[in-house]
């Protein structure tokens, strides 16, 4: 589209003049564009859409709430959509996370988690301030989020803004002990405030996966040293990994948990940071200087909370996990067929997320392969967005068998025409 637009898009190099389709509406797993195309959304619009676009129950909740109360200050005031949502979250999320702090995005839920951890230690008069992170992690694009995430081309220009962290190696199969030893040593240092981790599945880092037993062991190491354990479930939450949260598979209850993306079924921007009683109580006092100092204009926006309330109702009343299990099975079958015809590497799956790597000389985020694959998928009306040389699928749970077959055919065709395999 050569149309001149004042819009500056995220993660987009406008100098390449790549087409930017105009989307007019969406339903289920499909996007409809102004030029009359029906595009299958195979990555849930960047990992947010769980039950499908424009889910009737969520749309109805948004409409109803918009007519009643659009927005109200949340410092010192409250409203029923937020109260009901907080109560509902406590019912279905891991026990022990009894306090719900609202914000607007995954990145801010992480900033909140980090500030809570530092506030916890500060209010207890202990000078713990160091954050431990896992190699290849992604926790958002705000300054705190970037600081605790992998360093690379996407944040190099901003590195003077980023604070120092201690990085624990990723637990590749066979080298888990190195991860444990590094984490144990970092925790023993005495200045470690918290360890932040994406449970089971590192998304933007390349859809890297590790088993529940490793998550459980890392949690145990932190507990042994009294280091707070922050689970960033922004992407893994809401059924993505096959269970409501990824932590559940490891029997892990973190001290702090971040949820966003699928919290509203992917319909509205909203996030929560769940905290255990000790975190909350460390801020509880007659002294106003010890309160938790964080807010934003739209904290707990009522319309977004109503959308999240409808998402909770869907989880309570519909067989979401059965849908997730069936989708995961169909994805595995489709990918097995791809693997028979093409030389793919590291085929891996965690719930509804399935990924493989392609052998290229310039692996990594700026791999030249990415744009060519992207163009092929676009021509075939499938929304897939390879991470460097990694192709992955993360569809909405409502995707039909026919649409999923179309996605696999598109991948097969792209590999044949771009890589020349098959
Ligand atoms: C997407 C993501 C974030 C950032 O969420 P935004 O809503 O994009 O700010 C943080 N952590 C993880 C694990 C994510 O996948």
293-310 pLDDT per residue, tens? 999 999 999 999 999 999
- pLDDT surpassing 70 at residue 240: yes
Cα(first)–Cα(last) distance of the chain, in Å?
32
High-pLDDT (> 90) share of the chain, %: 92
Residue for token pair 């994406």: 198
Our answer on whether the CB atom of 255 is closer than 6 Å to any ligand 1 atom is no
Contact of 230 with 197, CB cutoff 8 Å = yes
pLDDT per residue as tens digits for the range 218-228: 999 999 999 99
Q: Which two tokens stand for residue 140?
A: 């958002």
- Measure the CA–CA gap between 412 and 409, rounded to whole angstroms: 5
For residue 370, the model assigns a pLDDT of: 84
Our answer on whether the CB atom of 176 is closer than 6 Å to any ligand 1 atom is no
For residue 367, the model assigns a pLDDT of: 73
Transcribe 383-404 into DSSP letters. Answer: E---BTTEEEE---TT--HHHH
Radius of gyration from C-alpha coordinates of the chain: 22
For the ranges 237-241, 258-262, 356-360, the lowest mean pLDDT is seen at 356-360
What is the model's pTM? 0.97
Contact of 374 with 411, CB cutoff 8 Å = no
Our answer on whether the CB atom of 111 is closer than 6 Å to any ligand 1 atom is no
pLDDT per residue as tens digits for the range 151-179: 999 999 999 999 999 999 999 999 999 99
Among protein residues, the one whose CA lies closest to atom 10 of ligand 1? 139
For 248-341, strand residue ranges (E) read: 256-259, 271-275
Among protein residues, the one whose CA lies closest to atom 15 of ligand 1? 235
236 CA → ligand 1 middle, Å: 10
- Measure the CA–CA gap between 51 and 48, rounded to whole angstroms: 10
Q: How far is CA 155 from the centre of its chain?
A: 19
- Measure the CA–CA gap between 405 and 401, rounded to whole angstroms: 6
Q: Return the ligand 1 atom nearest residue 202 CA.
A: 13
pLDDT per residue as tens digits for the range 348-398: 999 999 999 998 777 666 677 888 899 999 999 999 999 988 999 999 999
Our answer on whether the CB atom of 262 is closer than 6 Å to any ligand 1 atom is no
Question: What is the set of domains in the chain, with CATH numbers?
Answer: 14-54+321-418 (3.90.1150.10), 58-317 (3.40.640.10)
Our answer on whether the CB atom of 237 is closer than 6 Å to any ligand 1 atom is no
Beta partners for residue 166, in sequence order = 132
- Classified as helix, coil or strand, 176 is helix
Q: Return the ligand 1 atom nearest residue 271 CA.
A: 7
103 CA → ligand 1 middle, Å: 13
């Amino acid at each position: 589209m050569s149309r001149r637009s004042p819009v500056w898009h995220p993660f987009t190099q406008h100098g390449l003049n790549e087409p930017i389709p105009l989307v007019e509406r969406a339903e289920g797993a499909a996007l409809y564009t102004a030029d009359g195309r029906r595009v299958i959304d195979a990555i849930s619009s960047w990992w947010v859409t769980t039950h499908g676009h424009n889910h009737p129950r969520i749309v109805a909740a948004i409409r109803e709430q918009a007519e009643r109360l659009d927005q109200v200050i949340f410092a010192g005031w409250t409203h029923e959509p937020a109260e009901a949502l907080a109560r509902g979250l406590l019912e279905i999320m891991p026990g022990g996370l009894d306090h719900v702090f609202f914000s607007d995005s995954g990145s801010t839920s992480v900033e909140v988690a980090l500030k809570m951890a530092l506030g916890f230690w500060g209010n207890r008069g202990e000078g713990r301030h160091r954050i431990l992170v896992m190699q290849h992690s992604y926790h958002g694009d705000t300054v705190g989020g970037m600081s605790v995430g992998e360093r690379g081309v996407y944040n190099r220009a901003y590195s003077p803004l980023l604070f120092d962290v201690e990085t624990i190696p990723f637990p590749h199969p066979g080298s888990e002990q190195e991860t444990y030893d590094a984490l144990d040593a970092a925790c023993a240092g005495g200045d470690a405030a918290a360890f932040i981790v994406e449970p089971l599945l590192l998304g933007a880092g390349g859809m890297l996966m590790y088993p529940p037993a490793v998550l459980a062991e890392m949690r145990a190491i932190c507990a042994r040293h009294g280091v707070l354990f922050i689970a960033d479930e922004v992407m893994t939450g809401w059924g993505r990994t096959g269970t409501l949260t990824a932590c559940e598979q490891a029997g892990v209850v973190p001290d702090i948990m971040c949820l966003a993306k699928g919290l509203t079924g992917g319909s509205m921007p909203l996030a929560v940071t769940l905290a255990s009683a000790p975190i909350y109580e460390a801020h509880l006092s007659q002294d106003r200087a010890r309160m938790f100092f964080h807010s934003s204009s739209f904290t707990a926006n009522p319309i977004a909370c109503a959308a999240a309330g409808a998402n909770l109702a869907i989880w309570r009343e519909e067989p979401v996990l059965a849908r997730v299990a069936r989708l995961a099975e169909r994805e595995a079958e489709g990918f097995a067929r791809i693997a028979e015809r093409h030389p793919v590497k590291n085929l891996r799956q965690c719930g509804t997320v399935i990924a493989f790597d392609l052998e290229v000389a310039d692996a990594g985020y700026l791999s030249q392969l990415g744009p060519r694959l992207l163009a092929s998928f676009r021509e075939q009306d499938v929304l897939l967005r390879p991470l460097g040389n990694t192709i992955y699928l993360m569809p909405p749970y409502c995707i039909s068998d026919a649409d999923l077959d179309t996605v696999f055919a598109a991948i097969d065709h792209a590999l044949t025409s771009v890589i020349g395999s098959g």
